[in-house]
Structure 1
């Protein structure tokens, strides 16, 4: 219909330039070559698509939506793609991985999409995702086999942030990650709620390829006091943010005794079994003098008077002591 239009067609092209990119993708507009050219002139750095499992516009299903997204040249304008919470499954991810228009993606969020190791194998077998710097795979069904695929993939060598929280990973997967030279650019690693204690923590801590880690999250991994010692004595001297919450830790003296964690500014020990004696060891440690945030909530600290005094003398340090029996809802910080 539009091919016979001249002046009106030009106006429509101008209008198209103001349409939200997400809207264009969702309704699967079938556009002419000129309309594609107009869209490609625009910079759409971030695209978030929150689809549901229900049938989409004009009867489209999830498979058709992903096919439309993967086939549009406009995808080449996107550097950050968020497809989280869509329950896409492996087959839909395969279509994205086969798209040459995904070549400019640097951030990809595929959390909670029912992905298995097959989905990961698609991600690691395509050169079109070689520019990825951040990959979020939280809340899927990925096991150590999937993590091994990532670790052995040269296309993933540019990754700086890797989130594998709440998957099915055990020690063997973490060992593969720790031994991979392709993972040497990682600065942010999240493995919360995976069974990686003991050998897994030991391999991370002693890895020469993970020595540049600045943020490490190991919440809910079943860590004990021995795991804390591995971290304290390891190679991760660049750590600034360490999350060891919701584990089985009662002795943190090793963290305070060694100088390898002197850059640490955030330490999360929430939900462990720490008493006031161990808390004081951390607070009086010269090795941890750069701490600005310390979370000791939901532990076993009963007497906090000495902790209060230290907090009053160190205004830069914020200490969270909520839900420590008998202390409730006490937050010590700069406002005291």
Structure 2
């Protein structure tokens, strides 16, 4: 499940057992899945995860319930099998997915006993169940040394610092663990010392996600010490930990030991100029890096010139997200020059960097070399008519033939003549599936004659399904054109014009 997906939070009420069983029979997923195939959203416009600002208690290993403790009500194997049968499964199942099931404390108590009977369990997902918080030791206490668990997901479970300390104790027993996701548990930052100690025993770990976990500057030091034992780590997500800023500047070579790292997500971490200087020495050495997200770190704007210029040393990079970084002319120039060497690049997001307006020409040579580019986002970049005309020339030349998604929304400085030139050439993007040219929420405009060119172009784009045109107002004649288009052509294309009262917005003519 995506980290940005909303959960159905538990109301804390104890539900009848029949309701609990029926719920699992309808919705439980028991299947093997690859974590790398799960798409994660980085939509900074609709989601703003913030670390908890409340005072957090410092947890120690002593706060967690001992892993080997036993209680007098432990069931025998037959009772464990009966519980599993309620779920429609047997003890040979390797994947138990109980995410977003509104588990109660009673449910968790029963599941804690049953888990001991699934000797071959490899994947366990308890995400989006708020009652897990405070009950984690009870639920997972049956795990013993030598556990076959390869994937443990506890996203948004309201874990306490004590739960975090328990996780630290649990990790050494999971020698086969490959994926650990503790994201959206804002209180476990206080127990990161315990977690970091436990991570030293998980040498097989490949994916570590600590998105929005209340991490601090000190957390970087703790994690960096653990990384020395995680040479096989391929994916690291430390995003949306706003108190993390400044933590990298005190480490001479953070992340340096992660030579096999393929995905690094540091978006919305309040990175400072000194952080950027420290990362400049390391990131270019991560030659296996395929995805890099530095978005929403606004202090990078004036300090990232050296870092961005060295991205040219990442030949495997496929996704580069650097939106909302307040780039300046010098840093954008360095990025444009370096990106010309990123021949494997498939996703390029530069949205919300106003300095690009009037300077898109710096990227033109780059765009000619990015033959693999699938997604280009230039939303709210202050683009002007000259920019979109130059982009149209690149499209006409066939250099973006594999582009599937193009976002030019919130660029209100482009006149009708510019949109006309663009629409006359957009049909060269034969693989295009999504196009967004929406206006900002504060503005509405009448569509120019370019709308006819757009409709004509669409008839030649066999794969397009979505066209964002929010706050563009169609004239009566254009509405009729659109109606005839739907009658004469396929109906699988969605024109998103939005819904609003025309009087609510200032009109631009």
TM range (shorter): 0.7 to 0.9
1:241 corresponding residue in structure 2: 405
Give 3-state SS (helix, strand or coil) of 1:81's partner.
Answer: strand
1:159 aligns with 2:317: yes
Over the aligned positions, Cα root-mean-square deviation in angstroms equals 3.8
Q: Which runs of 5+ in 2 are unaligned?
A: 1-69, 71-142, 195-214, 505-509
> Taking structure 1 as reference, are residues 261 and 94 closer, same or farther at Cα in structure 2, changes over 3 Å only?
farther
Q: Which runs of 5+ in 1 are unaligned?
A: 1-7, 329-336
1:106 aligns with 2:241: no
1:4 corresponding residue in structure 2: none
2:122 corresponding residue in structure 1: none
Give the one of 223, 233, 237 matched to 1:69.
223
2:20 corresponding residue in structure 1: none
CA contact (8 A) 1:301 1:324 kept: no
> Taking structure 1 as reference, are residues 51 and 171 closer, same or farther at Cα in structure 2, changes over 3 Å only?
farther
Q: Write out per-residue CA displacement over residues 157-207 of structure 1, whole angstroms, 9 at most, x where no aligned residue.
A: 321111111111134333322222432322111111111334531122332
1:79 aligns with 2:255: no
1:226 aligns with 2:226: no
> Taking structure 1 as reference, are residues 39 and 92 closer, same or farther at Cα in structure 2, changes over 3 Å only?
farther
The answer to which of 266-275 and 13-22 deviates more is 13-22
Give the one of 483, 486, 505 matched to 1:311.
486
Shift of 1:27: 2.9
State the 4+ residue runs in structure 1 displaced beyond 6 angstroms: 21-25, 28-32, 58-61
1:333 corresponding residue in structure 2: none
Structure 2 counterparts to residues 39-58 of structure 1, below 5 A: 39-44=174-179, 47=181, 49-50=183-184, 52=186, 56-57=190-191
Q: 1: CA distance between counterparts of 2:470 and 2:192?
A: 51
Shift of 1:62: 2.1
Shift of 1:96: 9.7
1:192 aligns with 2:351: yes
| Higher radius of gyration, 1 or 2 | 2
> Taking structure 1 as reference, are residues 172 and 279 closer, same or farther at Cα in structure 2, changes over 3 Å only?
farther
Structure 2 counterparts to residues 1-336 of structure 1, below 5 A: 12-14=144-146, 20=152, 26-27=164-165, 39-44=174-179, 47=181, 49-50=183-184, 52=186, 56-57=190-191, 62-72=216-226, 75-87=230-242, 88-92=244-248, 95=251, 97-126=253-282, 129-140=286-297, 141-143=299-301, 145-180=303-338, 181-207=340-366, 208-234=368-394, 235-248=399-412, 249-251=414-416, 252-258=419-425, 260-271=428-439, 273=445, 275=447, 277-285=449-457, 289-290=461-462, 291-303=464-476, 304-312=479-487, 313-323=489-499, 326=502
Q: Write out per-residue CA displacement over residues 46-91 of structure 1, whole angstroms, 9 at most, x where no aligned residue.
A: 6454465997139997234333322225644532222111111132
> Taking structure 1 as reference, are residues 82 and 93 closer, same or farther at Cα in structure 2, changes over 3 Å only?
farther
Q: Write out per-residue CA displacement over residues 87-138 of structure 1, whole angstroms, 9 at most, x where no aligned residue.
A: 1113247649534542332111111111134323333312663321111111
Q: 2: CA distance between counterparts of 1:285 and 1:19?
A: 47
Taking structure 2 as the reference length, the TM-score comes to 0.53
